[in-house]
Structure 1
Amino acid sequence: MKFRVFLAFIASFYVISSWASDDYSFIVRDIRVDGLQRTEAGTVFSYLPIKVGDVLTEEKTNEAIKSLYGTGFFTDVRLKAENGILVVEVNERPAIAEIAINGAKEFEKDKLLEGLKQAGISESRIFSRSLLERAEQELKRQYISRGKYAVKITTTTTPLERNRVGINFDIKEGRTARIKKISFVGNEKFTDKELRGILVLRKPDLLSWFNKNDQYSKQKLAADLETLRSHYLDRGYLEFNVESTQVSITPDMRDIYITINVTEGAQYKVSDIKVAGELLIPEAEIRELIQIKTGDVFARKKLTDSIKSLTDRYGDDGYAFANINANPELDYEKREAAFTFFIDPGKRVYVRRINITGNDRTRDEVIRREFRQMEGAWHSTQNINLSKQRVDRLFFFNSVNVETPAVANKTDQVDINMKVEERPTGSIMFGAGYSDRQGILLNASVSQNNIFGTGNFFNLEVQRAAINQTYSASFTNPYFTINGVSLGFDVYKRDIDTRPLKSFAEFKTETTGAGIRLGVPIAENDIVSFGLAAENTHITTTNKSPKRYTDFTHEFGNSTNNFPFTVSWARDRRDSAIWTTSGTTHRLFAEVSVPGGDLNYYKVSYHQKWFYPINDFFTLMLNGEAGYGDGYTGKPMPFFKNFFAGGNTSVRGYDLNTLGPRDDVSNLSAGGGVTTNSRFFAIGASRRVVGNVELMFPVPFMKDDRSLRLGLFLDGGTVFNHFSELNNLMRYSAGIAVTWVSPMGPLKVSLAQPLNDKPEDNIQRFQFMFGQQF
């Protein structure tokens, strides 16, 4: 192209020279454009720096040719004069009429076309050989990033009518190159196997098809080198260095060899810890926050964690911009390091303003009442973090981000900018499971956790399953008072009918009731709730009901009135309600029938969850539940108040509520006699124990997606009446679970394998629950 421009300049110079030699002053009386096929003449005029009436000069001629070539529309531009008319002769570049991609399997064609478009190649655009070459290189780069180093891309262009071209990309992807070996040179303290174990890149294994970690990536290698550096520095090797890395590929482009050359150096211990600067807080407290101690092997992580702890501590007292540095003094002969923590607290600052954005539906006051950092108060890192956690635990938002920028031209003020991303707070719940004995179980509910953006909760539930039907409505105002006392109301009708199921003892109850609830916060993360309800239960038994059921109806009648009083204590110290990685939850619940009704019983249960971050990828969750119930004043505990276990909320892999003691046919009354058929029925029990261990982690290729999570679990539990039964009745299962916080509500799917099931157990390996569980 440059050569053509040069020739055009020579030609224009010749034309102008001819005009000058003839002493001819050429005044443009008109302009005509020849050679256009698709481009409008107006487009040429808009780029042409010469207008009718102008005197054509050599300078303007050169400028005109440069301008028209610069558009990229033309392959050739010539200027000539005809009787006072400036004639612009152009040869248009062809337009791209169609693009075909053949042989692409690694990428979707739509994504490849989008990539070509960003490189300047798409239908209807002007064809350019240089852009085509650039696009071809971009395609190769994309394939190489997926480990396909042997990819071959052949590009052909086909001329079409009306000065158009068709472009065809023939792609031979070839085989993906895999890492064959990772070697280390210079390592003596740790073996190659130990060092390879901490890297993301690795040889092909059972999970390589899933995580692609056997495919080389420059970015992954850089991250692995930093991981390697941290591994050594956290174990005292202050002089560790990665000298070089070599990445080679075999001639057939199939195997990759990585060699990492390191210098380990000696291991250093901490010889002394000093504190200097403007301390402001007691030195003893500062030293407690410093995790590295004299005599310890140096660990960089402990050093950085110490600086963070000190920064947060000063931030709690308002010193938001405290500058803390740990300066080392190395003794190379003794292999010791002394550290001096220099503390510059800076100015004490206060919060000028709290700004909230992103809450299109939720009212500002709903968010602000969760804040523990106040406007006009001294900056507190602890209060700001607590405010963020409390807003996150509302479950109204997909994400909550907080920034504390300094106020312009002020050294003692900061603003708090909270940006939230709202999630749908209304949900429709669908639950389902399948077993050979019960078939499909379904339930549904409609709820709104944030009515009209007020933070109030409303739930309307309709549940129809094999054994129960529930119709209920609930309303809760979490801030009935300004101090956070909540008030709630419930109206419900619950019917349980076990007659269609072969695994349950036969009975039917119809319970109608209404209640009121009051929640009182007693600490930052603790709340005590009280509830009182009035309910009527109608009981129906059959000739196949257990004798203990018919005995109960003979003593108390087929209709009972009950006034259950409930007390509960709950503590929530999770870092997030959606994507929990650390913290605990506790719930202690007690229910007792108030004297004056027909029933005298009590139930107590305790539920705890503990989340522990193993690293940035894995989170360990431990769950424990225990329950105990009995009657008082000589009356038994109603059989329909029993505890149950089994299903996707307790021990997965077993049918819902089928674990524990069973009654067989020999205990059934049938017309005054006893039948001899052998059948077993789940009846629940007065005591319950459940435990779960789950290792949770994000989907490997979707690490930044906070809505999708995987888990490997081990469940155990049962219900029982006497501790002597516990060992025989305990059931265990293991499996994998997927949790997705979808726009419609949480979806949890599990696939479990019972570990010690017995012939009388009801197995349900696949289970899923869609929606918020209440």
Structure 2
Amino acid sequence: MSQLFTDRDRLLSPYKLCSFLVLFILFISTNIFAIDDIGPKQNLFKISDIQIEGIKKVEKEAILERINSRKGMMLDNYLLRKDIQRIYSLKYFEWVESHHRKLKGKDILVFKVKEKPIVTRIIFEGNDEVDEDDLTSQLKTKEFSILDVNTIKLDLASLQKFYEEKGFYLASVDYELRNRNEENLDLVFKIREYEKVLVKKISFFGNKAFSDDEIKGIMETREESLFSFMSGSGNFKEFNFNIDIERIKDFYKTKGYLLVNVGTPDITVSEDRKWVFISVKVNEGPLFTVRDITFQGEVLFSDSELHEKLKLKSDETYSEALLRQDVQMLTEMYQDKGYAFANVLRTLHPVPGENRVDVEFSFEKGKIAYFGKIVVKGNTKTRDKVIRRELKIHEGAMFSGSSLRESKENVNRLGFFEPGSVVFNTVSPQGRDDVLDVEIQVKERNTGQISLGAGYSTATGAFLQASISQNNFRGLGQNLSFSLNIADSNKTFNIGFTEPYLFDTKWTAGGDIFLTSNSQSSSYDYKRKGFDIRVGYPIFDYTRLFVTYKFEDTQLENVVDPTIDPDTENGLASSVKTTILRDKRDNRMEPTKGYYLSLSAEYAGVGGEKKWFRNEFDGRLFHRVVGDLIFRSRLFAGKIERDGRAIPRTEKYTLGGSRNLRGYSYEDIGPKKTVNATIEGVNRDYTFNSGSLFSAYTQIEFEHPLAREAGLKWVLFFDAGDASPVDDFDLKMDYGFGFRWFSPIGVLRFEFGYPLGDDEQAGSQFHFDIGQLF
């Protein structure tokens, strides 16, 4: 039997060369042949059979399927060499050899292998701060897998990165193989964690246009702070810091510093290996303005139309961010004409000797295309129609870039899928370069929520809260919710259902059943129960018209204000409310941009025992100022009018407390009256808020993360408003600060309010409440 090839290509020593020549001669006479240099192609023998020797754990068929040699084939040296490489590429063997065996006149091709050992156990040593299960989840090597050193090296890199993300910047990871026997071994990862390295100081040099704090505000890398132990902020992560350098460059270019240069950061570790000091040199360069904006190539629109659409303007400061938006907008203009493959190139030409730049847009329109098949994938629960009814694109329609983008935004807005998982892929079918099929990939998220919480609120006292909701009930996009809130002064039960597309039309329908018991007012307690039914229809994009019918029964208890008439308060109210609602917020839970507008008119008197007209306006604006600093504002105004009957006190407006004017206590603002009464055996003059038929207030906030990972934010606010007749309107104002924690049971708000003007002596107010304010 002869050894034909091995997988190890070795340089030939003189001794080996002589051996090779001897073997070559022996092969001619005895069919024994060994080759290290293949040389010209040669036929060796016709294969009668193929045998595999040395395998214990690997199946023979796995090797036979890998090689190209087959029974009956003429074996040549090139085919044999390739087969050895293929077997070795399985990564199961330490070495592979081929042999020729003569048996009863038959020529048998034999592959001899030595299997790699099995990784019986994976052991971590030195991981005092990180859980073993967390480290195991980072590995591609698994227990009882065949040893693969290349995979282990990838595992080392994954573990190193994982430790860096945990804040152990100086951690080192190595490995060791410990033999248990000839066929099994232990893979040991040897870890030196050291202590977490925190960023003590980030310093910038050369920055004149922007302060250190302004630049730090756009970075993910943060200096160590009071809340670092909660959020993990302050940890130094090299990967994130490298991205921060690019953020700084983009920030400067967005502000007009086209030639900014950010030097290689100087990173210094303290002697005790606990702190990192970072120094960054910035060469800002001059501030550039835009001179001329020109259009070249296949221009489909007039210059005036294009200039009108651009956000980047001549004689204004250059902005990289605006330029990117303009490229996207111009591309969509062409795509909306059907040119799906339109290409918009932008070229910058700095003006010699001036701090100005010319911007040139060049267009390549391509050919007109149409939408082909639209396929939805990944929706194991959500019905196809729930996704398709949000689309603004249609099979066979001319391609439209803006419709494609808005369709993706609408599907994302449903909230049924993981953030970032909605992908719209466009592919031309074979032989049709004027058609684009659309494949919509989604990854479903858990749309059911169960929450249970308890705590204390200055508005309601101690509370217990429970809620169950399913925002994609039966996979049809329906909303089913149940909530229960039990507090010292407020008990609420509500069950609601909403069908967003009634009978697969654009109509929305839903309803609620509710029961409320409230004792927050110093004048009375009340119980209210009833139901409402609502229908809605879109009248414009993002705008719906709703009509709501509500039926409720109100009963007062523990009345201490002797001026309140129980006959006016108690009884049935049957009302119809019409609302126009426009919602363009980017996120309903934590909006950072957009607005919300609601205008409603309500008439009570469709049956029942009470009558009134009520008109209300609610407007909210959200804007990202810089970085994560969010500006939020709200304007509310409401007016109620009589329709021949007295207005119940429970329907009138008062202000004060954690939900509107936070510098005042609950029901502190509104028309007051003083009456003599006996309460709990004490006879004296008492002051009660009688409520107003008109109220208006505004709220302004600046909100910024304090510890991102912990969901903690700080807020500064200003409130102003009054609840009094229009002709006696007396503006009350307050300011304050607070903290918000976006916790599993909701948004917890801790706020300190201080009145302004004549009420400054009233003192401050502390409010703790649950729920987003607006």
TM-score band (shorter)? Answer: 0.7 to 0.9
Cα offset, 1:142, TM superposition: 5.0
Counterparts in 2 of 1:163-242, with a 5 A limit?
171-177=191-197, 199-201=219-221, 204-206=224-226, 216-241=236-261
Q: Report the equivalent of 2:523.
A: 505
Q: 762, 767, 770: which one pairs with 1:767?
A: 770
Query: Is 1:440 aligned to 2:462, yes or no?
Result: yes
Please say if residues 487 and 518 of structure 1, whose CA atoms lie closer than 8 Å, have aligned partners that are also in contact. Answer: yes
> In structure 2, how many angstroms separate the alpha carbons of the residues matched to 1:540 and 1:97?
74
> In structure 1, how many angstroms separate the alpha carbons of the residues matched to 2:208 and 2:492?
67
Please say if residues 338 and 400 of structure 2, whose CA atoms lie closer than 8 Å, have aligned partners that are also in contact. Answer: yes
Cα offset, 1:586, TM superposition: 1.0
Q: Report the equivalent of 1:110.
A: 133
> In structure 2, how many angstroms separate the alpha carbons of the residues matched to 1:564 and 1:224?
56
Counterparts in 2 of 1:543-554, with a 5 A limit?
545-549=560-564, 551-553=565-567
Cα offset, 1:281, TM superposition: 2.5
Q: Report the equivalent of 2:428.
A: 407
Q: Report the equivalent of 1:603.
A: 614
Please say if residues 366 and 454 of structure 1, whose CA atoms lie closer than 8 Å, have aligned partners that are also in contact. Answer: yes
Q: Report the equivalent of 1:496.
A: 517
> What secondary structure is seen at the aligned counterpart in 2 of 1:599?
coil
TM-superposition CA deviations, 1:397-441 (whole Å, max 9, x none) = 445735362533444433444334444555556565425896533
> In structure 2, how many angstroms separate the alpha carbons of the residues matched to 1:149 and 1:460?
47
Please say if residues 243 and 262 of structure 1, whose CA atoms lie closer than 8 Å, have aligned partners that are also in contact. Answer: yes
Q: Report the equivalent of 2:548.
A: 531
> In structure 2, how many angstroms separate the alpha carbons of the residues matched to 1:178 and 1:448?
42
> What secondary structure is seen at the aligned counterpart in 1 of 2:301?
coil
Cα offset, 1:566, TM superposition: 1.7
Please say if residues 653 and 764 of structure 1, whose CA atoms lie closer than 8 Å, have aligned partners that are also in contact. Answer: no
> What secondary structure is seen at the aligned counterpart in 2 of 1:378?
coil
Please say if residues 328 and 339 of structure 1, whose CA atoms lie closer than 8 Å, have aligned partners that are also in contact. Answer: yes
Please say if residues 645 and 717 of structure 1, whose CA atoms lie closer than 8 Å, have aligned partners that are also in contact. Answer: no
Cα offset, 1:494, TM superposition: 3.5
Q: Report the equivalent of 2:313.
A: 293
Please say if residues 434 and 767 of structure 1, whose CA atoms lie closer than 8 Å, have aligned partners that are also in contact. Answer: no
Q: After superposing the two structures, state which structure 1 stretch, 206-215 or 303-312, moved more.
A: 206-215
Please say if residues 532 and 548 of structure 2, whose CA atoms lie closer than 8 Å, have aligned partners that are also in contact. Answer: yes
> In structure 1, how many angstroms separate the alpha carbons of the residues matched to 2:242 and 2:502?
54
- Judged with a 3 Å threshold, the aligned counterparts in structure 2 of structure 1 residues 108 and 280 are, in CA distance, closer, same or farther, namely same
Q: 555, 560, 563: which one pairs with 2:574?
A: 563
> What secondary structure is seen at the aligned counterpart in 2 of 1:563?
strand
- Judged with a 3 Å threshold, the aligned counterparts in structure 2 of structure 1 residues 77 and 645 are, in CA distance, closer, same or farther, namely farther
Q: 597, 603, 628: which one pairs with 1:592?
A: 603
> In structure 2, how many angstroms separate the alpha carbons of the residues matched to 1:384 and 1:87?
60
Query: Is 1:735 aligned to 2:739, yes or no?
Result: yes
> In structure 2, how many angstroms separate the alpha carbons of the residues matched to 1:450 and 1:279?
46
Please say if residues 319 and 346 of structure 1, whose CA atoms lie closer than 8 Å, have aligned partners that are also in contact. Answer: yes
- Judged with a 3 Å threshold, the aligned counterparts in structure 2 of structure 1 residues 765 and 88 are, in CA distance, closer, same or farther, namely same
Query: Is 1:636 aligned to 2:658, yes or no?
Result: no
- Judged with a 3 Å threshold, the aligned counterparts in structure 2 of structure 1 residues 628 and 167 are, in CA distance, closer, same or farther, namely same
Tell me the C-alpha RMSD between the 2 structures: 5.8
> In structure 2, how many angstroms separate the alpha carbons of the residues matched to 1:407 and 1:46?
39
Q: 687, 695, 698: which one pairs with 2:703?
A: 695
Please say if residues 684 and 719 of structure 1, whose CA atoms lie closer than 8 Å, have aligned partners that are also in contact. Answer: no
- Judged with a 3 Å threshold, the aligned counterparts in structure 2 of structure 1 residues 337 and 486 are, in CA distance, closer, same or farther, namely closer
Q: Report the equivalent of 1:519.
A: 536
Cα offset, 1:131, TM superposition: 7.8
> What secondary structure is seen at the aligned counterpart in 1 of 2:344?
strand
Q: 619, 623, 627: which one pairs with 1:612?
A: 623
Please say if residues 661 and 733 of structure 2, whose CA atoms lie closer than 8 Å, have aligned partners that are also in contact. Answer: no
Query: Is 1:101 aligned to 2:124, yes or no?
Result: yes
> What secondary structure is seen at the aligned counterpart in 2 of 1:693?
strand
> In structure 1, how many angstroms separate the alpha carbons of the residues matched to 2:162 and 2:524?
64
Q: Report the equivalent of 2:43.
A: none
Cα offset, 1:738, TM superposition: 0.7
The amino acid that maps onto 2:246 is E
Counterparts in 2 of 1:6-17, with a 5 A limit?
none
The amino acid that maps onto 1:319 is Y
> In structure 2, how many angstroms separate the alpha carbons of the residues matched to 1:764 and 1:107?
39
Q: 732, 748, 751: which one pairs with 1:750?
A: 748
- Judged with a 3 Å threshold, the aligned counterparts in structure 2 of structure 1 residues 680 and 764 are, in CA distance, closer, same or farther, namely farther
Cα offset, 1:360, TM superposition: 3.6
> What secondary structure is seen at the aligned counterpart in 2 of 1:640?
helix
Please say if residues 643 and 719 of structure 1, whose CA atoms lie closer than 8 Å, have aligned partners that are also in contact. Answer: no
> In structure 2, how many angstroms separate the alpha carbons of the residues matched to 1:66 and 1:310?
53
Please say if residues 461 and 489 of structure 2, whose CA atoms lie closer than 8 Å, have aligned partners that are also in contact. Answer: no
- Judged with a 3 Å threshold, the aligned counterparts in structure 2 of structure 1 residues 317 and 663 are, in CA distance, closer, same or farther, namely same
TM-superposition CA deviations, 1:710-752 (whole Å, max 9, x none) = 5646475787445879667979662213166xxxxxx423141
- Judged with a 3 Å threshold, the aligned counterparts in structure 2 of structure 1 residues 698 and 540 are, in CA distance, closer, same or farther, namely closer
> In structure 2, how many angstroms separate the alpha carbons of the residues matched to 1:437 and 1:198?
36
> What secondary structure is seen at the aligned counterpart in 1 of 2:683?
coil
What are the ranges of 5 or more consecutive residues in structure 1 without an aligned counterpart? 52-57, 703-707, 741-746
The amino acid that maps onto 2:699 is G
> In structure 2, how many angstroms separate the alpha carbons of the residues matched to 1:39 and 1:365?
54
- Judged with a 3 Å threshold, the aligned counterparts in structure 2 of structure 1 residues 753 and 265 are, in CA distance, closer, same or farther, namely closer
> In structure 2, how many angstroms separate the alpha carbons of the residues matched to 1:471 and 1:191?
52
Please say if residues 707 and 713 of structure 2, whose CA atoms lie closer than 8 Å, have aligned partners that are also in contact. Answer: yes
TM-superposition CA deviations, 1:167-216 (whole Å, max 9, x none) = 65554422344556667777777787876665554654556656767555
> In structure 2, how many angstroms separate the alpha carbons of the residues matched to 1:464 and 1:287?
59
Cα offset, 1:285, TM superposition: 1.3
Please say if residues 435 and 763 of structure 1, whose CA atoms lie closer than 8 Å, have aligned partners that are also in contact. Answer: no
> In structure 2, how many angstroms separate the alpha carbons of the residues matched to 1:177 and 1:522?
56
Counterparts in 2 of 1:683-722, with a 5 A limit?
686-688=693-695, 689=697, 691=699, 693=701, 695=703, 700-701=708-709, 712=715, 714=717, 716=719, 720-721=723-724
> In structure 2, how many angstroms separate the alpha carbons of the residues matched to 1:609 and 1:109?
48
Q: Report the equivalent of 1:373.
A: 393
TM-score by length of 1: 0.73
> In structure 2, how many angstroms separate the alpha carbons of the residues matched to 1:265 and 1:733?
38
Cα offset, 1:606, TM superposition: 1.9
> In structure 2, how many angstroms separate the alpha carbons of the residues matched to 1:333 and 1:60?
67
Q: 384, 402, 416: which one pairs with 1:382?
A: 402
Please say if residues 328 and 340 of structure 1, whose CA atoms lie closer than 8 Å, have aligned partners that are also in contact. Answer: yes
Counterparts in 2 of 1:114-125, with a 5 A limit?
114-115=137-138, 117-118=139-140, 120=141, 123-125=143-145
> In structure 2, how many angstroms separate the alpha carbons of the residues matched to 1:235 and 1:587?
36
- Judged with a 3 Å threshold, the aligned counterparts in structure 2 of structure 1 residues 327 and 41 are, in CA distance, closer, same or farther, namely closer
Please say if residues 653 and 751 of structure 1, whose CA atoms lie closer than 8 Å, have aligned partners that are also in contact. Answer: no
TM-superposition CA deviations, 1:18-55 (whole Å, max 9, x none) = 9969x9899xxxx9999x9x95698899799999xxxx
> What secondary structure is seen at the aligned counterpart in 1 of 2:742?
strand
- Judged with a 3 Å threshold, the aligned counterparts in structure 2 of structure 1 residues 607 and 238 are, in CA distance, closer, same or farther, namely closer
Q: How many residues are aligned here?
A: 739
Query: Is 1:284 aligned to 2:304, yes or no?
Result: yes
- Judged with a 3 Å threshold, the aligned counterparts in structure 2 of structure 1 residues 694 and 425 are, in CA distance, closer, same or farther, namely farther
Please say if residues 568 and 587 of structure 1, whose CA atoms lie closer than 8 Å, have aligned partners that are also in contact. Answer: yes
> What secondary structure is seen at the aligned counterpart in 2 of 1:377?
coil
Cα offset, 1:465, TM superposition: 4.8
Percent of matched pairs sharing the same residue = 23
The amino acid that maps onto 2:599 is L
Q: 566, 575, 583: which one pairs with 1:572?
A: 583
> In structure 1, how many angstroms separate the alpha carbons of the residues matched to 2:551 and 2:765?
35
The amino acid that maps onto 1:506 is Y
The amino acid that maps onto 1:107 is V
> What secondary structure is seen at the aligned counterpart in 2 of 1:547?
coil
Query: Is 1:676 aligned to 2:679, yes or no?
Result: no
Please say if residues 720 and 729 of structure 1, whose CA atoms lie closer than 8 Å, have aligned partners that are also in contact. Answer: no
